[in-house]
């Protein structure tokens, strides 16, 4: 069976990262954007990252420009924005596509594991969130409207 740990992605600094480095940790995987009505959720995501800093848990941010062109910048600009505007310290990755023929393989897998509204595999907007357990299985999918704080109890059950 495939798990989240079987994938890799390019980090915001351009290095390739095997998600196996997070083996044994629960993960909250989020497609993000810097110019979105939900961009303020970076604060809540960072709070989860800090609240669970000593726990087997990590937030992973995947910028995406597929929704309203709300992530137009390049990697360095995205990293600078997140650091200066929200003091983001959780891992960020390079921009990915989450829908369509160029969908990142991680997102193709995530959306097959937990479908969205009416069984759709498509990601509907920025800040869709996937929670994986410590074995790398997807256990929940959350809509963009779900604030990170609302996921805290689900994370606590996994760690």
Catalytic residues: 36
State the Cα–Cα distance between residues 90 and 53, nearest whole angstrom: 10
Measured from the Cβ of residue 15, the count of other Cβ atoms closer than 10 Å reads 8
CA separation for the pair 105, 96 (Å, rounded): 10
Residues 86 and 42 sit within 8 Å (Cβ to Cβ): yes
d(CA 79, CA 69): 17
Q: For the chain, percent helix, then strand, then coil, each to nearest 5?
A: 35, 20, 45
Residue 89: closest CA among 129, 53, 40: 53
């Amino acid at each position: 069976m495939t798990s989240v740990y079987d994938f890799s992605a390019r980090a915001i600094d351009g290095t390739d990262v095997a998600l196996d480095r997070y083996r044994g940790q629960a993960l909250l995987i989020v497609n993000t954007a810097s110019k979105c009505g939900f961009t303020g959720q970076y604060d809540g995501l960072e709070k989860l990252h800090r609240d669970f800093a000593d726990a087997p848990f990590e937030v992973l941010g995947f910028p995406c420009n597929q929704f309203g062109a709300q992530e137009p910048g390049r990697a360095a600009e995205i990293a600078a924005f997140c650091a200066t505007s929200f003091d983001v310290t959780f891992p960020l990755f390079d921009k990915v596509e989450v829908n369509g023929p160029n969908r990142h393989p991680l997102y193709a897998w995530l959306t097959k594991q937990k479908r969205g509204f009416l069984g759709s595999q498509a990601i509907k907007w920025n800040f869709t969130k996937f929670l994986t357990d410590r074995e790398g299985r997807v256990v929940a999918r959350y809509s963009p409207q779900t604030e990170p704080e609302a996921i805290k109890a689900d994370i606590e059950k996994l760690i």
